[in-house]
A and B are shown apart, each in its own frame.
Chain A
Amino acid sequence: MERADTERTIRVLVAKAGLDGHDRGAKVVARALRDAGMEVIYTGIRQTPAMIAEAAVQEDVDAVGLSLLSGAHMHIFPEVLRLLREKGGDDILLTGGGCIGDEDMAALAALGVGRLFGPGASTREIVAYIRAEVASRRAPT
């Protein structure tokens, strides 16, 4: 059945970057996105920027949700964004979460990274943001 572009199922890659081993937060987000009707490609822990960008391209996702705790966000987010663009995925939304200060958030936003969520963010907020942002990117300009 043919469907309008705006109705297509939203696909999101959820990855956990950095060396720390646990991925509870990423899994909670993955399940929330699934419960909101999205297809979540879950790639697991210890993903490098190159792996994340390549998987996002192979899976043709609308968004990448990146979870990291390790404090390497000023390296990892820009690197994923650069690699996504290099691979032709400049229309893919890059969002995520971690303990990121306001100043860093502003700097990342200036580079083109989407909204980043702190540890206290509700999954409902994250779902609503991804849905709205993907819809606006899909809408014909």
Chain B
Amino acid sequence: MSGAFRIPGAGRFSQAKTARFSFDGRSYAGIEGDTLASALLANGVHLVGRSFKYHRPRGILSAGAEEPNALVEIKRDAARKTPNVRATVQELYDGLDGQSQNRWPSLSFDLGAVSDIASPLLSAGFYYKTFMWPKAAWKRLYEPKIRAAAGLGVSPDQPDPDHYSSRYAHCDVLVLGGGAAGIAAALAAAETGVRVILADEQAEFGGSLRFESGAKIDGQDGFAWAQAAVAKLAAMDNVRVLSRTTAFGYYAQNFVGLVERVSEHLRTPGHDLARERLWQVRAKRVVLASGAIERHMVFADNDRPGIMLAGAARTYLNHYGVAVGRNVGVYTANDSAYAAAIDLKKAGVNVAAIVDLRENPTGPVIDEARALGIEINFGRAVLRAGGKLRVSSMTVQPKNGGGERTIAVDAILMSAGWTPSVHLFSQSRGKVAFNDETKRFVPGTYAQDCVSVGACNGTDGLSATVDEAYAAGAKAAKDAGAKTAKGNKPKVDASESWSRGMLGAAPGAGPDTTVKAFVDFQNDVTAKDIRQAVHEGMRSIEHVKRFTTNGMATDQGKTSNMHGLAIAAETLGKPIPEVGLTTFRAPYTPVTFGAIVSHARGPLFDPTRRTAIHPWAEAQGAVFEDVGQWKRAWYFPKAGEDMHAAVDRECVAVRKTAGLFDASTLGKIEVVGPDAAKFMELLYTNPWEKLEPGRCRYGIMLREDGFIYDDGVVGRLAPDRFHVTTTTGGAPRVMNHMEDYLQTEFPHLNVWLTSITEQWAVIAVQGPKSRDIIAPLVEGIDMSDEALPHMSVREGKICGVPTRLFRMSFTGERGFEVNVPADYGQAVWEALWAEGQKHGAAAYGTEAMHVLRAEKGYIIVGQDTDGTVTPNDAGLDWAVGKKKTDFVGIRGLTRPDLVAKGRKQLVGLKTRDPKVVLEEGAQIVEDPKQAIPMKMIGHVSSSYWSENCGRSIALALVAGGRDRMGETLYVPMPNGVIEVEVTGMVFFDETGGRLNG
């Protein structure tokens, strides 16, 4: 037996298999096809959670995505623990393990419920008011308390082991919502042959046909028609049907985000199945068929478990075969609840009474209810609900006052009317319009190529809905380019129809009362809270919303927004449209990070770039560091060496014999064309026209504001060809910067730019023995100092493959950078390595490279500069062509602030104690005894232990630095003040003799 409240013969899953599940540790039986909510109700379980603020016992309000109360944790294993799952959406599978949330120690006895008694302290705006003072208490007391108390669910503490997938899709007509309207629209569009996608958030299509027992279409029961129609659609080549798929966001130009729950409903999801799939769909036309959501009645203690929406109770009965009680009361302000009462009564459930706020409504459902012998009370209100963990009674009173009467019930079905779901329409930036007659917001002005049909458009009645939707589907297809239509409009043989209802608080929960009549269940906002917000000065609905948090929970106020608005409007004494509706934002329902992130995590989070020489370095046991997307060999530790020892050894080896360094990640751009030199003149501060082919120059690139943007050595291979190098991290932006000027400011120049970073592997061979290592492998290049002086470049062959051989140095030693086609990078490296071994050469990594260049005072753009450093600040004025009349940045350099005295300038620092290594980023002061906050005059930009110098060395940006040579400055640190002396930037081989050594 799958629950005592399952009614034999009712529902659509009577033949289904039993599914066992547990909730809060107790075992139950449900059936396949159930949601967790229907399975719990079948077992008579209504109490499923505690409310957010007051910890009040809560039950199941709805049967769909709008659920604000029944949020549970679903646990498959320690890593697959999903909090805040709506029990009304979670499909049951055998073995499902659910837990209630926000209660301690147990659901029926929750100590946190004391906040219900203390609720006057927690009224609207309590976040803002209570914790305003004192400031210190916020950090220590309030915030931790709130964080602990505000727990709706607990996140899993292990990485998500599942995978998610992501698809892009294009279609002509995207239909969102698979009720009668959506299906009719999809049929009309699909029959024309255009590409159609039909999506619905439920496991089964049908929408309200799931519960409307009175619907008949094409001679069939409405729900059966829906299944047949969707099966027909699914079989068409031009149609994609997506169930369990929620459209959560409607973005620009008909771009819609949907999440498909692929395996959340399966007992054992296979490893080949994604957990969820993100669909990003671009549609020529969108048909919105998102339906309507029923509103609850706002009366005292309307949150007792067992009180639910009438339509939900009807869904549980007609779809799942579950009675939500044995003796139910009905509280309504419109006709639709009567249909629920009639269906339940016919199924054998006692309907204690219908309480209808309306004075003397008439209509077939009322007649039918009366004929079934149901007691009907017009013009009466439910004053309050009795019971605590489950509703036990409703107290009824004529709405204009009079004697009270208490009726025993075990469930109350309520309906204040239906709110069109304009969420997606509103997200599309369409403007809603208020229909004063029906008191609802419906789509008004459209901003995108979409159309709303059925209940979400304020269209009442199945027949009108199908007519409207079918016509809209056909028109959408035509607008998207369809030629012909063939097919037949579904014929509605019988339908249900209702509209109207009421907004705001019911009698008994009016302004003169202090009862807890909930408007927003998920955030515990009452009618009184909304009135209080207005009394405290909130005038705009956006302010009321933030002050009370009405509609700000994860349910986004699907059931509460209209009530909240009506109460605010009434209190303000303004008509509803003047108070205005709050903005609907994506996502419509919560979306997991997994679905958004999809495959882009772990190693696939960001591409990894490896050089041609990477495998060799890896085999040598190199330690790598991340530089942008690149993996760079950081240092090459030998057995027993720590980083410090390895770097010291590598630095000494380079200056003593030679070192090999993989410089392949350097950005490389080829600038080619008759105007290449002219272009270089404009993009770099240096002069280029007179640079002879075969020679190199250190170039500085500025932005127009005069600050250093990038630097690098440039070789002129031919009059019309430059081989430009950039910093590793700067390559893409330098290329973009060059292209920008070439395409838009200097389009008259005949120049071509090509990124060649990945085409050339670069092996730096630096040190006194560097030429001896290279020379035996080179063909066609005279390696003598006369033929190949420092800062020159030659093309020839090395190891039989083409090379661009640069004589240049980033270490201050005699040095070369061997460029070879990347495919030969490792082979040439290995050949050079073999030669190097004869001379005792070492491989060195980026850390030694940094130390060696700092010993020579060579800057690294982005480390020693920060986007506010001019060439003059960096001591590089010599690289700015004084006779040039134009280059990017020429005007910026003469701005008043850039030529002012006292600018921060790059200098060297030596600590008084040579053993002390400064911290990069440390601040520098003149007087360490001054009061805090001290006046900072600069900071350390580079700092290392230099084994070659036998001491620490540092570069720093210091105000007026070059006028402070020999001055003593101070670096205050947590463990004391470090005394430093300002020096020049070159710490090793000041004369530069070693470049030819």
Chain A partners chain B: no
Give me the interface of B with A, judged by CB distance under 8 Å: none
